[in-house]
Amino acid sequence: MRKWIERQRNILDFTLSSLSRRKRKNIALISVYTLVVFFLASIVFFTHSIRKEASIILKASPEMIIQRLVAGRHELVPMNYIDKIREIRGVSSVKGRLWGYYYDPITGANYTLLVSEDGQPAPGKITIGEGISRTRLVFEGDTIEFRTYDGVLIDLEIKNKISSESELISSDLILISENDFRKLFGTPKGYATDLTLQVKNPKELSTIAIKIAELLPDTRQILRDEILRTYDAVFNWRGGIMIVILLGAMLAFIILAWDKASGLSSEERGEIGILKAIGWETSDVILMKFWEGMAVSLSSFLVGIILAYMHVFFASSVLFEPVLKGWATLYPKFRIVPFIDASQIVALFFLTVIPYTVATIIPSWRAATVDPDTVMRA
């Protein structure tokens, strides 16, 4: 066993000093390779994380949302709808929700204001998301000025920041008290933005939705599954576009790698001949080429993955944000919480490292099976 390890070490040593001889060529190759891994991994990390964030949102979201429509547009819902819906069998709870958007002219950002069902801040106080704090440079104890629907300015004090496992939900969010919300937007008492509904048995959801539609014809019912499907479609589609574009890049890389790896130069061929002549077996030569392929592809793979991680989770995927994030004006900026799926890393590994390594070994194997006496005739 020790001999086996030493043999690997010796051959690896030789491989590394061999690689350093063709520095320029190998650095160019590693750079292109790293770039491909970087793009691929960025897309994979991004789409996976954003979908994961979306699923976290949905986990916490109600099973059904009921909105009132007037002339096809979303309108405020009278609170007395709650009593009507509650009477439908199978409904376990119905609540009115107050939420809306507020445009902040200072930062040019839209905030989402929400009256939380569990634990509202006291009147005059708000809780803000990380994104708002970062964009406006405001912290606990500071105040933010809001202009109400009728032009009056009110100051609300930041009580604390929202800690959430998903920044996609909380980045632009402001939790506000019911009183302040109604004061700000002029929402009359007895009305809510929409209603949320929980059922006793999730299998009855669609039946209950039909009953509500019959009972209150001016409402529409949105089921959680429908939102999930929309999210999935949006992000899969966008990830798909990028992957199609990248396939072109991948193909170009494969041609480059194949050309580099399969076309052994006469110098390399000569070296293999020398090694065979001085007592290397075909398997030793293949082992050397295996380590060479591994050294190039593994280092590119690791660097590419690390750069992609930094790009997606620290730099907010600046390079392809406009394509990937549903709408390009998502603001304030949010940072995706890192979620990495090991199976995706493995898939990337098999897509990049393995083909390259194989592409290096095959031609060397062919070169290594020639009679070593060709060296004596050089």
Q: Given the rule CB under 8 A, which residues bind other proteins?
A: 2-7, 9-11, 13-14, 17-18, 20-22, 271, 274-282, 284, 371-373, 375-378
Cβ proximity to other proteins: between 106 and 278 the closer is 278
Report the 10 Å Cβ neighbour count for 306: 14
Cα of first residue to Cα of last residue in the chain, in angstroms, is: 38
Cβ proximity to other proteins: between 180 and 292 the closer is 292
Query: To the nearest whole angstrom, how small is the minimum distance from the Cβ of residue 16 to other proteins?
Result: 10
Query: To the nearest whole angstrom, how small is the minimum distance from the Cβ of residue 5 to other proteins?
Result: 8
Cβ proximity to other proteins: between 266 and 343 the closer is 266
Rounded distance between C-alpha atoms, residue 157 and residue 244, angstroms: 48
**DSSP symbols for 129-197:** -HHHHHHHT--TT-EEEEE-TTS-EEEEEEEEE---S-HHHHTTEEEE-HHHHHHHH-PPTTEESEEEE
Query: To the nearest whole angstrom, how small is the minimum distance from the Cβ of residue 288 to other proteins?
Result: 9
| Closest-CA residue to 162 (of 17, 366, 334, 309) | 334
Query: To the nearest whole angstrom, how small is the minimum distance from the Cβ of residue 377 to other proteins?
Result: 7
Cβ proximity to other proteins: between 92 and 283 the closer is 283
Q: Is 238 helix (H, G, I), strand (E, B) or coil?
A: helix
Query: To the nearest whole angstrom, how small is the minimum distance from the Cβ of residue 259 to other proteins?
Result: 22
Contacts of residue 252, Cβ cutoff 8 Å, sequence gap at least 6: none
Cβ proximity to other proteins: between 307 and 361 the closer is 361
Q: Is 316 helix (H, G, I), strand (E, B) or coil?
A: coil
Cβ proximity to other proteins: between 189 and 377 the closer is 377
Cβ proximity to other proteins: between 1 and 244 the closer is 1
Query: To the nearest whole angstrom, how small is the minimum distance from the Cβ of residue 263 to other proteins?
Result: 19
Cβ proximity to other proteins: between 20 and 343 the closer is 20
Report the 10 Å Cβ neighbour count for 48: 19
16-to-20, 64, 253 alpha-carbon distances in Å: 6, 61, 23
Report the 10 Å Cβ neighbour count for 101: 10
Contact assessment for residue 129 and residue 110, using Cβ atoms and an 8 Å cutoff: no
Query: To the nearest whole angstrom, how small is the minimum distance from the Cβ of residue 4 to other proteins?
Result: 6
Q: Which two tokens stand for residue 130?
A: 């990380």
Contacts of residue 234, Cβ cutoff 8 Å, sequence gap at least 6: 326
**CA angle centred on 232, ends 230 and 233, rounded to 5°:** 65
Query: To the nearest whole angstrom, how small is the minimum distance from the Cβ of residue 30 to other proteins?
Result: 18
